[in-house]
Structure 1
Amino acid sequence: MFTITNGIILKGRDLTLKKENIVVDEGKIVEIGKESHEGKIIDVDGAIVCPSFINGHMHIGDSIIKDEGYGLSLSEMVKPPNGVKHKALADAEDEEIIQAMKSTMWEMVESGTTHFIDYREGGIKGVELLKEASKDIPIKPVILGRDDSFYGGEPDLGKVKIAIRKLLKVADGIAPSGFGEITDEVANLIVEECEKRDKISSIHVAESQSNQIESLDKFGKTEIERGIDSNFGQLVHLTNPKNDDLDLVSRSDSNVVVCPRANATLNVGVSHLNEMLGSGIKPLIGTDNVMLNSPNMFRELEFTLKLMSVYYRNYIDPKDLLKMATTNVCDNKINDVVKKSTIDVGMDAELIVLNSFSKNPYLNIINRCESKNILYTINKKVNV
């Protein structure tokens, strides 16, 4: 048992500022209060105590080819089965992939991330490689698998259903690449089988303008409409919404993840965060492909804060932005699988303690802090 004292706590789902002590016993927060103190005392002397980060969307397997292919188009880089990423993964040895993923996970741990949601290529074997890589690292991967049988214009739906069921025995959900690679029938099968097992169904939508135009031309619907109609639990990117796409999302049960740095790197657009927040959407934020970006959430948050200011010529609330990397997931059904905690009594102790440099703790984290400014990372497995 130990007590963190004299910290500025970002408490609950709303990250409400409190100057209180936190008592932790066997990985659980058992008491929060001004006078609370039990066991070993850790005096953090005015530092900020924030929920640890969740990286809402990653492709950790392409850690093997960091910064390769810079300047290529979205399709050339990541479209299966012939994108730069997929060819590299097909040619790599298992141990090479495992070691690269381990390195990336340690980088995340050292920069305050305790959970990440990964789109895992390679079918069942790909899922097992990530499980092997993560088993001794204090981080929780939420692994969403996929299978090559999903792709093509006339897939064998019987084989697709078998592949989905086999994957769901080892994975936390299913995540095909996008509607440009699968049919609506495959999409519906994925969602149906995930819902039966209370697992996550996720898909990229509207990452580029061309994706949206192609979808409208072929199906009379945007990719976002198709994602909502199929009832995917999580939609990633939404960089190029059209018509009333965001209104449809706000009225759905789908969780949203944005990846601003990846969109910028691939030159496909700017996340419509102001409109999302204005319509009541509570997105997550992720760093996307490791081949494109570091998995450091501090870098993602600072980039997004400043990009939104220049793009909209208006300021995004830094607290709303920080929630995207911490507590927004707790308002969504997918947290039944993710299991991310807030700073509240009875919750798992999953928090980071950071140096304080300014009077605004939200901007302090986003605009000032780096990995070296983390004094403690605390979760159920280990204190780093």
Structure 2
Amino acid sequence: MQIEGIVLRGRGFDPVEGRVVVEDGEIVAVEETTTDSDDIVCPAFVNAHTHLGDSIAKEAGSGLSLDELVAPPDGLKHRLLRAATDAEKITAMRRSLRFMQRSGTTATVEFREGGADGVRAIRRALDGLDVDAVVLGRETVAAMHESDGFGASGARDADFTSERAATREAGKPFGIHAGERDPTDLTPALDLDPTFLVHVVHPEPDHLDRIEREGVPVVVCPRSNLVTGVGTPPIADLLDRTSVALGTDNVMLNSPSMFREMEFAAKVGGVDARDVLRMATVAGADLVGLDCGVIEPGRPAKLLVLDGDSDNLAGVRDPVRAVVRRAGVDDVQRVVL
């Protein structure tokens, strides 16, 4: 299989006219050559932070604070999740996953509520789809053993020392929400030696120094942070210190569209489009050890092809900026997963 167009090659997303040659699901060559195609070929996205169970309650909770919306155990989302049947949750998650697949997301890092049963539910929702999921169980060590790791709600909610020890012993990733409402839970979260932090909206200088010194990656979710009224993360400052990935967070509050998240991050965060595309692809893959997010020989062919001659994209001068700041689901020509 050969896919022609403007190829965003390598970790620098260098635009080259040419083609990607794929054999048996692997990229075997990226060739520079003249083509007749206006398509833009970029890596498929990695959504580095989702709560897909919340697909049962899209746009619920208008006007509520962050704690009223999502704080365990009695925030709105937790009450709604307890009230929903397994079949309802599986159907809702599957519909969100189908949308993610259609819009070019190859993988997601999912914080999965509901203990071990919740982990099994999303595995059922994923059945037959081409989206990979790194599922991080929550609430119990049993959920961690059932899943790919542990996703902690935050150091202000509980002491996760024993869960962190069990996750480390199992050799699995440990992610934790931190610095979302204010900076007070960042130090205890960092004390747990996490694989990565999520949100980090309110870091103080000593937190940034420690994140850099200890090499802790961060996942930012700026649309979610704005909706819940906690502010927006200092993306540029974080990029100066560590690897930063991008996630869409809670489906109750935001669609799991990486196009929307990239545009918002680029325009509100004031960061370069290449940095944002890296956040939406290879940075998320590196976060949890996935082999995707970049177009180069030897990599799996996880590709998103955009119609560069669509009414929205025709005439673009900078294809990387176009993917990040302008493109949308309607521009998707083909998804290769």
Q: Quick check: TM above 0.5?
A: yes
Distance 2:54 2:112 in 1: 10
Which one has the largest radius of gyration? 1
In the TM superposition, residue 146 of structure 1 has moved relative to its aligned partner by 1.2
Instruction: Kindly indicate whether the alpha-carbon contact (under 8 Å) linking 2:47 and 2:284 is maintained by their aligned counterparts in 1.
Output: no
Distance 1:94 1:60 in 2: 13
Q: Which runs of 5+ in 1 are unaligned?
A: 37-42, 148-162, 216-222, 309-314, 380-384
**1:183-210 per-position Cα deviation (integer Å, ceiling 9, x unaligned):** 1xxx23223222233311011001012x
Q: Secondary structure at the match of 2:214?
A: coil
Of 350-359 and 112-121, the range deviating more from structure 2: 350-359
Which one of 231, 240, 243 corresponds to residue 282 of structure 1?
243
**1:100-128 per-position Cα deviation (integer Å, ceiling 9, x unaligned):** 00111111111111111111000000000
Name the residue aligned to 2:179.
206
| Residues 295 and 49 (structure 1), Cα distance of their counterparts in 2 relative to 1, 3 Å cut | same
In the TM superposition, residue 70 of structure 1 has moved relative to its aligned partner by 1.2
**1:293-324 per-position Cα deviation (integer Å, ceiling 9, x unaligned):** 0111111111222212xxxxxx4211101111
Instruction: Kindly indicate whether the alpha-carbon contact (under 8 Å) linking 1:355 and 1:369 is maintained by their aligned counterparts in 2.
Output: no
Instruction: Kindly indicate whether the alpha-carbon contact (under 8 Å) linking 2:106 and 2:130 is maintained by their aligned counterparts in 1.
Output: yes
Work out whether 1:105 is the aligned partner of 2:102: no
Name the residue aligned to 1:181.
157
Distance 1:347 1:276 in 2: 28
TM-score of the pair, normalised by structure 2 = 0.94
Q: Which runs of 5+ in 2 are unaligned?
A: none
Instruction: Kindly indicate whether the alpha-carbon contact (under 8 Å) linking 1:4 and 1:23 is maintained by their aligned counterparts in 2.
Output: yes
Alignment map for 1:274-353 (pairs within 5 Å): 274-279=236-241, 281-308=242-269, 315-332=270-287, 334-335=288-289, 338-353=290-305
Instruction: Kindly indicate whether the alpha-carbon contact (under 8 Å) linking 1:233 and 1:253 is maintained by their aligned counterparts in 2.
Output: no
Name the residue aligned to 1:155.
none
Name the residue aligned to 1:359.
317
Distance 1:35 1:17 in 2: 12
Q: Secondary structure at the match of 1:365?
A: helix
**Letter of the aligned partner of 2:29 in structure 1?**
E
Which one of 259, 274, 287 corresponds to residue 221 of structure 2?
259
Superposed CA RMSD in Å reads 1.7
Name the residue aligned to 2:169.
196
**1:85-144 per-position Cα deviation (integer Å, ceiling 9, x unaligned):** 000000111111111001111111111111111110000000000000111111111111
**1:219-244 per-position Cα deviation (integer Å, ceiling 9, x unaligned):** xxxx2222222101010000011232
Distance 2:329 2:196 in 1: 29
Distance 2:46 2:272 in 1: 19
Which one of 326, 329, 334 corresponds to residue 371 of structure 1?
329
**Letter of the aligned partner of 2:259 in structure 1?**
F
Name the residue aligned to 1:172.
148
Q: Identity percentage over the alignment?
A: 36
In the TM superposition, residue 344 of structure 1 has moved relative to its aligned partner by 1.1
Name the residue aligned to 2:2.
3
